Structure 1
């Protein structure tokens, strides 16, 4: 796991009022410094946003606020950082991208209180050594390396206090801001999206469920020479501490650095793209958080460690078949079959206007370029992402589509986009067409 957290620490705000205050301050920065009064003006009929005029200093303050809050607010902020280059500009995107890597860690006092509560006083006797400086910190918790007295090398994921209890209020506050910033097209009800996000975040804070998902995923993956999943250590797991094998490596997006060859980048991207299809079509269990830090590449063993199963979803067979039909139709250019799959997925309805149907199918056809292209698709040389992003954004801002996709599929969309973006980040050549063929 990466060692990147020699950072300042601040207590995790746990009261609803405290978290609302931090969110209000973050929103002020997001609105280029207009503050709470500006939010009030927006709620009374300000203009819908286009390109957000967020300067570097405002973005930095925005990021710092979300990183300090952790929890649901930071998790949603991470979604904004996946690739917002056209919305925010490159300098701001880089700042927001820090949300993908880490949050602020807890101060030692809060950490000690959590360890005493979960393990009891004298917990130190269980360990030969525990590094009190976290090796990683994210939206839900932070990770510490520890060695037990019986010689096990572990990573302890320790949940931030109050995060689980604050999820519902955070989601309500975020829902209020989305409505008042007019971030959705007129007529679209974002409530199902926020409800699905609320359920997902409650799952992510259930460490017993995550330990179960980790074991299930490892069993379905089986012995693999290229991929490895940590195993939980149940005797040291508690409701707020998840103990697992410590695995080494660097986040896979760093493989783009010059010391790694084109062949290395192609191999890493290909392994993770193929894994995405295996998860959906073979496992029926998808790890839906594509944060690059959840994949660690060990250059010595050439293996990829697969982390974080709080976002693992069991996929109903109906959705597996729907995506199979959509992928097959996209590959074959079968617009009628694409249309039916879009209705099933909630992109369109039976009564959608002809122009909306045509524009949606055109956008999907454009997005499916790697699926239709035989042989390795060169993500490094392709401008497909920009073409899809610009066209999708135009349709969004023109309020052409008023349908919210099926909530059960929302995090799958995030996984697929994350895999696409990883291939793009690594400038890799990946045979998407060939990988999908056995499943269609």
Structure 2
């Protein structure tokens, strides 16, 4: 959640409380389920006398309407229900109909804020008399499904901090919210009930409990702070333990602009290249060195500290370490070998690296070859141009750096993936691979928006 530094949400609607009681949320979701059920019944009856083609088109349009209604109703609840929807939108493209994924992608954090008296009462319960040591701006600078952020000053020292305040009751509502969400999908009949979906809900439950544990997030933030403190390209907020609790996170205030701001687009191209290179290099560190990754691809997890002096570097501000995933050695070995094969553009090495999971081991040679080709395309930005002579010429600049905005990589990947998946009975990839792939897709989008040019040799070669 980006604590965007310049625009407090003074014009946003405020509410006094969230519906966090089980009864209130059950009633809201039960009403939504009932309405969806009625609509399904009406659609089924009215479509009985249509031919197959017309009925298919009608059902697809109806599914779109149902999905949008579902997302709209979920958005009114805030809390973990919204977060569940957001997570499914990010990670569930392999198990959800596209209409559902698109609708859930409309769930965002730009929702009503809790009123200051409610937030102040929550802070008083968490901090007691320590609250008197802070001068807090009552207007939040950021909101999310689980928390909102306020700027503050430590009166004794003048230190500028931000407080990430978890909405009261949302942590306790996670289990019941997930059960209600599953029931809603089952009753509405808009998502097939499969073991894959159940497995994803179990994963989401674990992720949610991790995200509301701010003591764990504080420890993770401190690890990344220590790792990057000597690299001037990055800023990680410093945790203030005095005012941090399990449901409250206090950290240094780090100003910056959002990655989609016009000011960033107006920077000279070489400066944007440097920002893009820094963004992708940290992913290499996560995979090859640290073994843990921030898996949330949301642009809101980044700000850019633009230098006033062109001689200095612009810095990437890394925010929100609640979605960190730690990966086992086997998966990391596979991911590293895939990237190495991609750098060398070596189809055989790519095929050999694909092992150790049923998803890979059950493939026929033909399917393995198709998927290896897909991975080679996905790693095109990391390949050595001297070894990968088929990189489209418009994707390389005069210094052989990869031009993200010209690559159309996302659409090329989608086309190739569709062909590859049609060649066999598709098994769901391991969840861990989907976490990593979504992070890469988010990074690809970021670099495309920046119109960055990146150097593959400095990205992968140090880890060969």
Structure 2 residue aligned with 1:164: 171
For residue 132 of structure 1, the aligned residue among 126, 130, 138 is 138
Q: Give, in angstroms, the shift of residue 118 of structure 1.
A: 0.8
Structure 1 residue aligned with 2:212: 205
Secondary structure of 2:148 counterpart: strand
1:8-407 mapped onto 2 (5 Å cutoff):
8-10=13-15, 11-22=17-28, 35-38=36-39, 54=64, 59=68, 62-63=71-72, 65-66=74-75, 68-77=77-86, 80=89, 99=107, 102-120=110-128, 124-127=131-134, 129-150=135-156, 151-176=158-183, 183=191, 189-254=196-261, 258-300=265-307, 302-345=314-357, 347-348=359-360, 350-372=361-383, 374=385, 375-392=400-417, 400-407=424-431
2-structure distance, mates of 1:26, 1:372: 49
Secondary structure of 1:146 counterpart: strand
Give the gaps of 5 or more residues in structure 2. 46-54, 309-313, 386-399
Instruction: String of CA shifts for 1:155-200, please: whole Å, max 9, x gaps.
Output: 000001222122223333444556665657x976222222222111
1-structure distance, mates of 2:31, 2:261: 32
Q: Paired residues, what number?
A: 424
1-structure distance, mates of 2:195, 2:238: 42
RMSD: 3.8
CA contact (8 A) 1:285 1:312 kept: yes
Give the gaps of 5 or more residues in structure 1. 29-33
For residue 7 of structure 1, the aligned residue among 12, 18, 23 is 12
Q: Which has the greater radius of gyration?
A: 2
2-structure distance, mates of 1:266, 1:9: 40
CA contact (8 A) 1:134 1:142 kept: yes
TM-score (norm 1): 0.82
Q: Structure 1 residues 381, 190: closer, same or farther in 2, change over 3 A?
A: same
Q: Give, in angstroms, the shift of residue 149 of structure 1.
A: 1.2
Secondary structure of 2:172 counterpart: helix
Does 1:430 find its partner at 2:454? yes
Q: Give, in angstroms, the shift of residue 325 of structure 1.
A: 0.8
Secondary structure of 1:344 counterpart: coil
